[in-house]
């Protein structure tokens, strides 16, 4: 069983989400990371980075806020230790990259071009642009497209580039179209949405970083909405869907809205074996709904209202080919 995503073949349609799986090693204790679609690594920057002070996390209803501040070892140590291990392990890898300037994104892409052992690049444009008063790249079409065009130019043409979009925008479809025009081979939807918690005992913000990214099941309807809106204007671009997926049914919802593959993020904190469980549940549910290939279910919720529905399977379920 394989899943096709922007021209690459993956073992399945369920991936980890960036920042929720480190570089795969920890989760490999709980399930075989080579059996899922791919490990999407924590966003890596050019230099080592300490991240923010603690508290970095606050639990919220059906979700959590985080403000980690992109802690990481820098691209060189990442390549030497993390990517080398993933490659040795035989896992499929999507490297997430982040930068404070367009130039930093481009420089990381240049470094990555000198290496192999990964399948795609996810560009985390939900970072503050230090050259633009900390405005987040993903919040404006021109700055988002600028980063994507630079990374696309600097990268091996055989490596697909996914733009990871923020939901904190007025019109996500416009940003998605700008990224596609700038050369994105695919999109990742969605990043966390900005939130805040005030501790009523200390009467101060709960996070040292004051605001944080909200993730988990609480944001799932926002993610499905974003996916739907982007799919309406870009019928063909490959999309990795994510945002609060915690079971096969949630994953199937994203497929129906237009995702070719899904990422499981915050749920990993709750259930470290969730990615493989969800991949299996998704296969069963797709089969139950009568799909013999997952591809046929992608964007199925967008079909004409008068188009007849695929009939549910009866009798023994035959699990679908992912393709």
Partner 1 sequence: MPVQVRGEVVSLRRAGLYTVLTVTAPGVPEITRPGHFAAIAIGDLDSSGLILRRAFSIHGVQSRGIYGGTIDLVIADSGPGTHWLTQRRRGDALDIVAPLGRPFSLPRDPVSCALVGGGYGAAPLVMLAEHLRERGCRVDVVLGASTEDKLFGVLDAKRIASTVTITTEDGSAGVPGRVTDPLVDIMARANTDVVYACGPMGMLAAVADVASQAGILSQCAVEEAMACGIGVCMSCVLPVIGDDGITRMVRSCVEGPVFRGDRVRWADIGTVPPDTLGAPSSEGIPR
**Interface characters, 82-101, with partner 1 (x: CB under 8 A):** ------------------x-
- CA 147 vs. chain centroid, Å, equals 17
Active site residues: 127
Residue 92, SS3 per DSSP: coil
CB of 87 to partner 1, least distance (A): 19
Min. distance of Cβ 273 from partner 1 in angstroms? Answer: 6
Give me the half-sphere count of Cα atoms (radius 13 Å) on the Cβ side of residue 236: 3
Cα 77 from chain centroid (whole Å): 23
Nearer to partner 1, 204 or 293 (CB): 204
Q: How far is the CB of 73 from partner 1 (least distance, A)?
A: 8
Residue 66 interacts with partner 1 (CB under 8 A)?
Answer: yes
For partner 1, which is the closer residue by CB, 217 or 320? 217
Residue 269 is a binding residue for partner 1 (CB under 8 A): yes
What letter would DSSP give residue 213?
E
3-class SS letters over 224-237:
HHHHHHHHHHCCCC
CA dist 154 and 243 (Å) reads 29
Q: Write down the residue that tokens 């633009």 correspond to.
A: 132
Using CB under 8 A, pick the residue from 13, 167, 217, 320 that binds partner 1: 217
How far, in Å, CA of 2 to CA of 4, rounded? 7
Of 32, 56, 84, 111, the residue at the interface with partner 1 (CB under 8 A) is 56
Determine, following the binding rule CB under 8 A, whether residue 290 of this chain makes contact with partner 1: no
Question: In sequence order, what are the residues at sequence separation of 6 or more whose Cβ sits closer than 8 angstroms to the Cβ of residue 265?
Answer: 16, 17, 18, 19, 20, 215, 242, 243, 245
Q: Give yes or no for residue 103 binding partner 1 (CB under 8 A).
A: no
81 binds partner 1 (CB under 8 A): no
Compute the distance between CA of residue 237 and CA of residue 243 in angstroms, rounded to an integer: 19
Please say which residue, 183 or 205, places its beta carbon nearer to partner 1.
Answer: 205
Among the residue ranges 60-68, 90-98, 232-240, 293-301, the one whose residues contact partner 1 (CB under 8 A): 60-68
Is 59 a binder of partner 1 (CB under 8 A)?
yes
Identify the sign of the CA torsion 48, 16, 168, 97. positive
Q: Of these, 32, 271, 296, 321, which contacts partner 1 (CB under 8 A)?
A: 271
3-state secondary structure 59-87: EECCEEEECCCCCECCHHHHHHHHHHHHH
Q: Does 148 bind partner 1 (CB under 8 A)?
A: no
220 binds partner 1 (CB under 8 A): no
Give the Cα-Cα-Cα angle 75, 81, 85 (nearest 5 degrees): 125
Q: How far is the CB of 206 from partner 1 (least distance, A)?
A: 10
134 binds partner 1 (CB under 8 A): yes
Contact map string, positions 155 to 194, toward partner 1, x by CB under 8 A? ----------------------------------------
243 interacts with partner 1 by CB under 8 A:
no
Contact range with partner 1 by CB under 8 A, out of 1-9, 187-195, 270-278, 283-291: 270-278
Asked if 215 and 221 count as a contact pair (C-beta separation under 8 A), the reply is no
């Amino acid at each position: 069983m394989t899943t096709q995503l922007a021209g690459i073949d993956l073992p399945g349609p369920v991936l980890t989400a960036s920042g929720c799986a480190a570089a795969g090693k920890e989760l490999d204790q709980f399930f075989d990371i080579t059996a899922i679609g791919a490990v999407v690594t924590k966003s890596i920057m050019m230099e080592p980075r300490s991240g923010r002070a603690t508290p970095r996390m606050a639990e919220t209803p059906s979700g959590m806020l985080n403000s980690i501040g992109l802690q990481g070892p820098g691209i060189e140590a990442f390549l030497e230790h993390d990517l080398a291990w993933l490659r040795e392990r035989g896992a499929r890898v999507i490297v997430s990259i982040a930068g404070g300037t367009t130039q930093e994104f481009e420089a990381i892409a240049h470094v990555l071009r000198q290496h192999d052992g990964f399948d795609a690049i996810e560009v985390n444009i939900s970072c503050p642009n230090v050259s633009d008063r900390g405005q987040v790249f993903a919040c404006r079409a021109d700055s988002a497209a600028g980063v994507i065009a630079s990374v696309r130019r600097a990268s091996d043409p055989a490596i697909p580039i996914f733009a990871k979009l923020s939901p904190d925008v007025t019109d996500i479809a416009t940003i998605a179209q700008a990224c596609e025009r700038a050369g994105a081979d695919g999109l990742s939807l969605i990043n966390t949405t900005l939130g805040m918690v005030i501790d009523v005992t200390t009467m101060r913000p709960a996070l040292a970083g004051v605001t944080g990214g909200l993730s988990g099941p609480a944001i799932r309807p926002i993610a499905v909405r974003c996916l739907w809106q982007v799919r309406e204007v870009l019928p063909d671009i490959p999309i990795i869907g994510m945002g609060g997926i915690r079971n096969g049914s949630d994953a199937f919802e994203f497929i129906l809205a237009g995702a070719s593959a899904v990422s499981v993020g915050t749920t990993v904190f709750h259930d470290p074996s969730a990615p493989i469980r969800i991949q299996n549940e998704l296969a069963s549910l797709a089969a139950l709904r009568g799909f013999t290939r997952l591809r046929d279910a992608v964007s199925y919720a967008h079909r004409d209202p008068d188009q007849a529905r695929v009939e549910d399977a009866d009798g023994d379920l035959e699990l679908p080919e992912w393709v």
